[in-house]
Structure 1
Amino acid sequence: MITRNAIIISCPGQEEHFLRGAAKDVINIFNYLTSPRGGDWKKHEIFCLKNPDWPEVKRLLDRCTADYQFIYFAGHGFSDKNRKRFLVFNDQSIEDIKLFTHNNKQLIIADSCRAQYATISGIPPAEDIYSSFTGVSEARAAFDDAIKRSQNGKMIVYATAHNNEAEEERYGRGGAFTLSLLVAALDFRTGLNLCPVMIEDLLPTVKRTLLSQKYTQTPDVAFRIGNLRVPFLIDIAQMEVDEKLVENEYINIESENKPSLFKAIAVVTLLILIIRGLSD
């Protein structure tokens, strides 16, 4: 049996640096993971931490053993002069690679800044617009199969490149990167049902989405070791089925209500013959 767990962390900071919407990004990610496109995670496999101290996070990491582990962090971050990356927890700043544990397959996604000396970015609250992903139950089996087939590896993906800030979504719906990532995951199509799609395959689309909305940040794979091939999404044809059914139903209604071209020609021809007969 394939095992997995996810740790979703919200560290919004305090007082004037408080990121009101960090919790909203966490909700969006939770909803996505539990959707078929996200791999149909079970609720008991997901741990959510609100503004934790580092020891609390460390205890959870130490006891969470799985074939695959996903960690999402929403909050403040920065890089030091040596380009080391840090995430800011409630009590201290921790180098991101310390979130790696004994688990052989891990992915970390951090929606946080990488500017030097903890430049602050805001993630305001928003409506829950990612709670209705749809699909089929086979997605979980496809996700588990990808975990089984993947080689060992660890990866860290950031919302932005080195020495840049992670921006807020200007309409107040969360972090620009997280929202763009989820939009990409919702819209991405391979044309193959239950096809696994890796996070790095989504990043070019995420970048284009950000640029189209005038955000200057560039998502970045900041760290990679091994050959992790666990997907971030499972492409599900069911996402398109409802639209096709509606379209087909509309076409059928039109065809039933409107005469065919052949019938129309026949009616016109009959009328011409009748008119000619009357004129004679």
Structure 2
Amino acid sequence: MRYTNQIEPVRKALIIGSPGTEGVDYLYSASTDVTNITNHLLSSRGGKWKDNEIQVLWNPGIAELAAIIENIIADYLFVYYAGHGYENTIGERKICLCDADVSDFFLLNNSPRQLIVIDACREKEYPAISGIPEEEEWLPFDGYYPEREAFDNYILQSPVGKKIIHATKSGFASWEDKKGKGGVFTTNLILSTRKIQCNDLYAPISIEQSIWKARKMIKQAGDEQEPEIVYSIGNLQVPFAVYVKSEAKTVYSNPSNYNKPRTMPRREPSNSGALTFGLLLIGIALIANNSD
């Protein structure tokens, strides 16, 4: 897939880690979430974002974040938040910055296409959250990547729209992975992009597909946490990921052969037998002559 003279859309990502202050409520695994979601964007599945398209904020204050949100306008803006959160008595969803608690609507701006993903609790208590397994290896952007071009094309094709995703439903906590890999939601959201199968290479994987798969994986693990879309306006169709076909691995029936190199039997030409016999006769003649 290559689009001739395609206009490159402006894409921006804002990754926010807000673990709180050092102490009982500090979320050490929030840094894992921030790293893993960043690596997802840089990866083939995430659309091969460039380093200069991604901005990471660590424990920002309200003034700093407000200034960035106001000025980071793009054709497509992805915002991710890992940190403390809760829902107040009148049902407003809040995220906690280092100096203020703000509504999740605070993260919206004038970008025509915007996806906000929040890994935070929706209860007043603050149990720990965050986390993720290692993402695939990625390389710095140094040339043409079909995954990136496909993702750009999906941005250009998408109608305008905005969505806000939360890691859990109202009244529930957002838990961290028991193995210390980060938030249960973020971990499974990224893992879902590896589990979803598509027929076409670089096919779009929507945020709805990823949430559905992540919810199923979380439930199978025995957790009641249910991620959901809490706000949607317009018809945003920019995918969360693109499908990348995994290379098939060779499977050996005999364990003793695991470390043996794969070999291909050499195919001889159809007249190789006659040629070999002729060479043998010439050799015998030469030996006879030398013996004389």
TM-score over 0.5 (shorter chain): yes
The runs of 5 or more residues in structure 1 that have no matched partner are: 258-280
Q: Is the 8 A contact 1:77 1:114 kept in 2?
A: yes
Residue 226 of structure 1 aligns with an amino acid whose one-letter code is: G
TM-fit CA distance, 1:254: 8.2
Write out aligned runs for 1:1-280 (5 A).
1-14=8-21, 15-115=23-123, 117=124, 119-123=125-129, 129-132=134-137, 137-237=145-245, 240-241=246-247, 243-244=248-249, 246=250, 256=265
Contact 1:28 1:131 in 2 (8 A): no
SS at match of 2:24: helix
What is the percentage of aligned positions where both structures have the same residue? 32
User: What does the per-residue CA deviation read over 1:252-276, in whole Å, with 9 as the maximum and x for residues that have no partner?
Assistant: 958859xxxxxxxxxxxxxxxxxxx
Considering only CA atoms, is the larger Rg found in Structure 1 or Structure 2? Answer: 2
**How far does residue 82 in structure 1 lie from its aligned partner after superposition?**
1.5
Deviations 1:74-117 (A, max 9, x none): 001111122110110010000001210011110000000111x2
Q: CA RMSD in A?
A: 2.2
Structure 1 residue 22 displacement after superposition: 0.2
CA distance in 2 between counterparts of 1:13 and 1:131 reads 29
Between the aligned partners of 1:229 and 1:82, the Cα distance in structure 2 is: 31
Q: Which amino acid aligns with 1:13?
A: G
Aligned amino acid, residue 18 of structure 2: C
CA contact (8 A) 2:130 2:175 kept: no
Q: Work out whether residues 61 and 98 of structure 2, in 8 Å CA contact, stay in contact via their aligned partners in 1.
A: yes
Which amino acid counterpart does residue 194 of structure 1 have in structure 2?
Answer: Y
Distance of 2:158 and 2:104 partners within structure 1:
23
Structure with more helix by fraction: 1
**Secondary structure at the residue paired with 1:156?**
strand
Structure 2 CA distance for partners of 1:124 and 1:151, relative to 1, 3 Å: closer
Amino acid at match of 2:173: E
Contact 1:22 1:124 in 2 (8 A): yes
**Is the 8 Å Cα contact of residues 119 and 130 (structure 2) preserved in structure 1?**
no
Instruction: Mark the runs of 5 or more structure 2 residues left unpaired by the alignment.
Output: 1-7, 253-257, 267-292
* 3-state SS, counterpart of residue 65 of structure 1: coil
Q: Distance in 1 between matches of 2:212 and 2:59?
A: 31
Contact 1:123 1:172 in 2 (8 A): no
Decide whether aligned partners of structure 1 residues 254 and 108 sit closer, same or farther in structure 2, where only a CA change above 3 A counts.
same
Pair 1:137–1:76, CA change in 2 (3 A):
same
Q: Distance in 2 between matches of 1:130 and 1:190?
A: 20
Paired positions, count: 247
Structure 1 contact 160–218 (Cα < 8 Å) conserved: yes
Question: What residue number does 1:267 align with?
Answer: none
Task: Output the amino acid matched with 2:98.
Answer: N
**CA distance in structure 2 between the aligned counterparts of 1:145 and 1:36, rounded to whole angstroms:** 15
Poorly superposed stretches of 4+, deviation over 4 Å: 252-257
Counterpart in 2 of 1:264?
A: none
- Report the CA distance between 1:151 and its aligned residue: 0.7
CA distance in 1, matches of 2:41, 2:213: 19
What is the distance in 1 between the residues matched to 2:192 and 2:137? 15
Does structure 2 conserve the Cα–Cα contact (< 8 Å) formed by 1:181 and 1:206? yes
Q: For residue 121 of structure 1, what is the amino acid of its counterpart?
A: P
**What TM-score, normalized by structure 1, do the two folds share?**
0.83
CA 124–46 in structure 1, closer or farther in 2 if over 3 Å, else same: closer
